[in-house]
Chain A
């Protein structure tokens, strides 16, 4: 047996040595992380864009805009969506593939903001710049820039619109409202909610506005995965448990998909339609606003956001520092990320025509 082992070791060692000798060795500094970095890169470089699953119109639109916008600017775009079920693992693999393919900048709309640090670190080591799009990537020093709408402001606008809308319907309180918030794994959910509560809390404390179910904590109001069926089910339960003989005046909804689900539930229960907030300017919701059902939405024009992101990529390509307007607020747990914030716009039936005048898809709906 020992003789056999000796023989095999000899053969193995020779084979491996022979091939090692004629191998090429490490790639060396080919993917060197020359951290000066501000030299720019070729104008026709590959730019990776990793987006979440195609669960909302917005992401699909963003993907198309990135593909066309980057192409126009002379880059090679590589836009990828995560799969419907295995979202996080898909996105991790996609980001790694983009690094392998030699992308110079990777724009990431994260599916789970805290589960990408390994991939982002690998990208950084390969000298790739990382821009967090719409959702800040957490717990990693390897995010270069963050570009988004001012989401705290979004929440404030939603809260304010809710108060205005209820006052217009019924001059005097107290008003009964219910609160909804977005997916707990989305970093933005809390920001929207806190923004809205910064407006609503003083009124709740005064007793002018009452959360009749008592469910005021974000853990009680959250809708996992931003799923419509989740919001509808929760609203169904609230209506049965709390609004048997009470009137529901308003619902804080973080986005349009959930707002429509809430309206569906209310209509199904045969109750009068309350004032419902929204966000994203989805087609169905704009129709609903014009028809007088959903009260408001937020116009965060995806075109402006994508354009701003592409401008950042262009600046990086030329070797300049991209424009930012907030270098203090967005701490991701590992560092404060340089951020460019865009202002959101509140849209109700009153200003819909004006707000969507430049939008080829939405403008006809407001006429």
Chain B
């Protein structure tokens, strides 16, 4: 096998479907480089990167939930309204009942869960299509927001604002950087190296063909390099700023949900349900329960996103949440999910969301008006999905094609599809 093929095969995972993932990451890098040049280096400056994460963390959090909803073969149009409704409830509760802010956050999550259970009930147990249920929810909770808030803007207390506009504190010796951000970066680097080494060992234990050493090292160097670069950027912002709290919440959610969707039976059930609901049900997947929890989970995340936005805006307003559902859905589809369900990854959706975010930010830095920004974003969405469909018809690589193929080859009773799009090549059980 030539070195080039080795590289292609192994650098970003295992199978051909990773070409799509690679394509997305490549697009992301290309956009960063493009705007870095066009804006004279403003794009990668610390303050801009920090702002970028603060501005988009709530959309990316929505994208996590939306990915699972779309993979299960549904859609959720109500997330923006739920976010707005939760925002005003929490803001009012803190203002009028003097709830301490941590209780306020719990209160908000509880509202999200309650709304989610309501919508999940209609989708899973009554069988009304999610499109209709959430369209109703969109109206219901937008009206609820205006009813509760009288369409006023209600400010939230200082402590609460931390989840939206807070940063890691400055502690420890003066290193010229934010120390906690450095520690966070260190942890990420260790995790990357550990995972790579573990992956190699697992392959050895399973007697699989080992990945050439030089590729392992190259991959580690690239990833570690990126993480170190980003860490230093975040750690070297203006004193008082560092990696934003909302970014930490996002990172924790991404890790947890990636693990859940990839490595647990519950997570794989979502893919099974989206791929073929009948087959999944016959194989023992509790169809209704999966649908119920997927919808409920989405509402909880929407509630969280709403609170983060309110915290960042320092107040809950009547225009909160307008159009968020579309941003989240666009991120998921740009990130390679299939409209028909059953296909897509958390990491892909995050990359898709970041592509949109960087486009937005870069164009704004260049002073392009929102009218043209919207046109460009629309075209990017169409092109990204169009390219995938075209490639499929041409018989070239396609996430959709390659995964449905592997679907047929595997035993259908144990659905382990679509993990091809993940970076982890070995689909083994969790070690230890």
* Residues of chain A whose beta carbon lies under 8 Å from any beta carbon of chain B: 1, 4-5, 7-9, 11-13, 15-16, 19-20, 23-27, 31, 53-54, 78, 80-90, 92-94, 96-97, 99-101, 111-118, 125-126, 138-140, 183-185, 219, 222, 224-225, 333
Contacts and interface: CB of A to CB of B under 8 A. Distances in A.
Contact of B364 (A1, A4, A94): A94
B193 A114 contact: no
B373 A15 contact: no
A20 B317 contact: no
B177 A100 contact: no
Contacts of B153: 112-115, 138, 185
Interface in B185-242: 185-186, 189-194, 196-198, 201, 220, 224, 228-229, 231-232, 236-240
B27 interface: no
Given A26-B239, A101-B365, A185-B319, A88 B42 contact: no
Interface stretch (B43-51, B260-268, B280-288, B399-407): B43-51
Instruction: Give the top 5 A-B pairs by smallest Cβ distance, nearest first.
Output: A25-B176, A8-B193, A12-B189, A8-B194, A115-B313
B309 interface: yes
Contacts of B361: 93, 97
A308 B240 CA distance: 35
Nearest to B193: A8
B432 interface: yes
Contact of A16 (B182, B240, B371): B182
B360 A224 contact: no
Interface stretch (B115-123, B144-152, B271-279): B144-152
B320 to A, nearest CB: 7
A125 to B, nearest CB: 7
Given A4-B197, A139-B155, A185-B151, A83 B370 contact: yes
A118 B161 CA distance: 9
B251 to A, nearest CB: 17
Contacts of A84: 370
Given A4-B194, A97-B365, A12 B186 contact: yes
Contacts of A114: 153, 155, 314-315, 317
Contacts of A112: 153, 313, 315, 317-319
Contacts of A7: 193, 197
Contacts of A31: 47, 238
22 contacts: A4-B201, A11-B193, A11-B220, A12-B189, A16-B189, A19-B232, A26-B236, A27-B238, A85-B322, A93-B360, A96-B55, A97-B364, A99-B47, A111-B319, A112-B317, A112-B318, A115-B317, A117-B314, A118-B164, A118-B165, A126-B47, A139-B314
B236 A89 contact: no
Given A80-B370, A82-B370, A115-B153, 18 more contacts: A23-B177, A26-B237, A31-B238, A81-B370, A83-B370, A86-B324, A86-B327, A88-B320, A93-B55, A96-B55, A99-B47, A100-B51, A100-B365, A112-B153, A114-B315, A115-B315, A183-B151, A184-B318
Nearest to A63: B369
B172 interface: no
A142 to B, nearest CB: 11
Interface residues of B, number: 68
B367 interface: yes
B161 A100 contact: no
B45 A185 contact: no
B428 interface: no
B391 interface: no
A118 B313 contact: yes
Interface in B131-174: 146, 150-153, 155, 161, 164-165
Nearest to B178: A26
B45 A100 contact: yes
A118 B47 CA distance: 14
Contact of B323 (A85, A115, A225): A85
A60 to B, nearest CB: 11
B228 A86 contact: no
A4 B45 CA distance: 35
Contacts of B319: 87-88, 111-112, 185, 225
Find the residue from B42, B236, B324 having the highest chain A CB count within 10 A: B236
Given A85-B323, A100-B365, A114-B153, A20 B177 contact: yes
A87 B153 CA distance: 14
B269 interface: no
B312 interface: yes
Contacts of A333: 155
Contact of A80 (B186, B191, B224, B367): B367
Contacts of B55: 89, 92-93, 96
Contact of B182 (A20, A115, A138): A20
Contacts of A85: 322-323
A117 B155 CA distance: 10
Contacts of B189: 11-12, 15-16
B98 interface: no
A20 B431 CA distance: 33
A87 B237 contact: no
B340 interface: no
A54 B367 CA distance: 16
Contacts of B320: 88
A103 to B, nearest CB: 11
Contacts of B228: 15-16, 19
Contacts of A88: 313, 317, 319-320
B176 A224 contact: no
Interface string B364-383: 11010111011000000000
Given A7-B197, A80-B364, A16 B186 contact: yes
Nearest to B187: A12
A117 B239 CA distance: 19
Contacts of A185: 151-153, 317-319
Contacts of B370: 53, 80-84, 90
Nearest to B309: A89
Contacts of B312: 92, 118
A88 B191 CA distance: 38
Contacts of A101: 42, 365
A118 B365 contact: no
Contacts of A9: 190
Contacts of B151: 183-185, 222, 224
A96 B237 CA distance: 14
Contacts of A86: 322-324, 327
A367 to B, nearest CB: 34
Contacts of A13: 186, 190
